[in-house]
Amino acid sequence: MKVLISTDIEGVAGVYHPEQTRQGNPEYERARLLMTQEANAAIAGAFDAGATEVLVNDSHGGFRNMPPDVLDPRARVVQGKPRYLSMVAGVEEGVQAVCMVGYHSRAQGRGILAHTINSFAFAGISLGGQELGEAGLYGALAGEYGAPVVMGSGDDVFIAENRPLFPHATFVETKKASGFSSGVSLSPEQSRRAIRAGVMEALAARAGAKPLVFEGPQTVTLRTQSTALADLFCQWPSLERVDGVTLRFTAPTVEAAVRTLNCCSAMSSMLR
């Protein structure tokens, strides 16, 4: 059994503030180790459940947060960008199950540090009229490769948003949100124990999990954070302007949709 563990930082126990997610300060240096320790708990749970191979995907920001020498050496690590499959890179290697560790609520949700892909640029993303966060988008991308999401960890709002998308998945609540930068968290040790047990439980029950599949071409609606960003993105001829801050495009697959969105995210740096 080959398992992919995609690890973000905003849903990690003890992480509340944007400063903890941004390189160049002591708060981040501590948070990246908390992220790595939760990844290690998931790796251990996967091997406990009988995994023969584990890939761990560094899925936050610049995709080079977790010190490789601190990660469980039994796993292979996917780091660096750009990469076509982004937060689920590695799924193309024939993965049977995906675990999402440290994930968060979608943009303008009520979870801790809620956003979708790029908090500066994106106010909301919908596929076929259904608004999705990163878990939904990348879960659907993994689904195109036949891999189901079997486990997720993060705050209570993240879980409430994504349980309907992944009804057979095991969810681990690391903290409860009371605001964008506030909540009540498990201790890191409690969170790691719960994640390890959750991954074991999820992989033991994975036979009942089904990939999230969006059939056919996808109409993607992107709400931007400003009219200037919509102006910029619509320099791309295939993107249609809907209103001041909204644009739309059609993608043949979820992978094509995600790659287009990530290109827009990269373009947005022109306006920072």
Same-domain check for residues 24 and 71: yes
Domain span at residue 150? 2-120+134-208
- Reported as a single tens digit per residue, the pLDDT across 217-247 is 999 999 999 999 999 999 999 999 999 999 9
Amino acid found at 109 = G
pLDDT (0 to 100) of residue 208: 87
The Cα–Cα gap between 13 and 185 comes to: 6
> If you average pLDDT over residues 95-103, what whole number do you get?
98
Same-domain check for residues 116 and 242: no
What percent of the chain is modeled with pLDDT above 90?
98
- Reported as a single tens digit per residue, the pLDDT across 181-218 is 999 999 999 999 999 999 999 999 998 899 999 988 99
Number of domains in the chain: 2
Same-domain check for residues 86 and 204: yes
Same-domain check for residues 193 and 233: no
> If you average pLDDT over residues 67-72, what whole number do you get?
97
pLDDT (0 to 100) of residue 207: 87
Which pTM was predicted? 0.96
With cut-offs at 50, 70 and 90, classify the pLDDT of residue 85.
Answer: very high
Same-domain check for residues 224 and 156: no
- Reported as a single tens digit per residue, the pLDDT across 133-143 is 999 999 999 99
Amino acid found at 121 = A
The Cα–Cα gap between 100 and 109 comes to: 18
Same-domain check for residues 103 and 22: yes
Same-domain check for residues 254 and 146: no
Beta bridge partners of 130: 127
Count of Cβ atoms closer than 10 Å to residue 26 Cβ: 9
Does residue 126 belong to any structural domain of this protein?
Answer: no
Same-domain check for residues 8 and 69: yes
Q: What is the 3-state secondary structure (H, E, C) of 102-163?
A: EECCCCCCCCCCCCCCCCCCEEEEEECCEECCHHHHHHHHHHHCCCCEEEEEEEHHHHHHHC
Same-domain check for residues 62 and 177: yes
Same-domain check for residues 112 and 232: no
Contacts of 262 (CB under 8 A, 6+ apart): 82, 86, 117
Does residue 128 belong to any structural domain of this protein?
Answer: no
Four-CA torsion 62, 150, 12, 225, nearest 10 degrees: 50
Residue 49 has pLDDT above 90, yes or no: yes
- Reported as a single tens digit per residue, the pLDDT across 148-175 is 999 999 999 999 999 999 999 999 999 9
Same-domain check for residues 186 and 239: no
Same-domain check for residues 165 and 66: yes
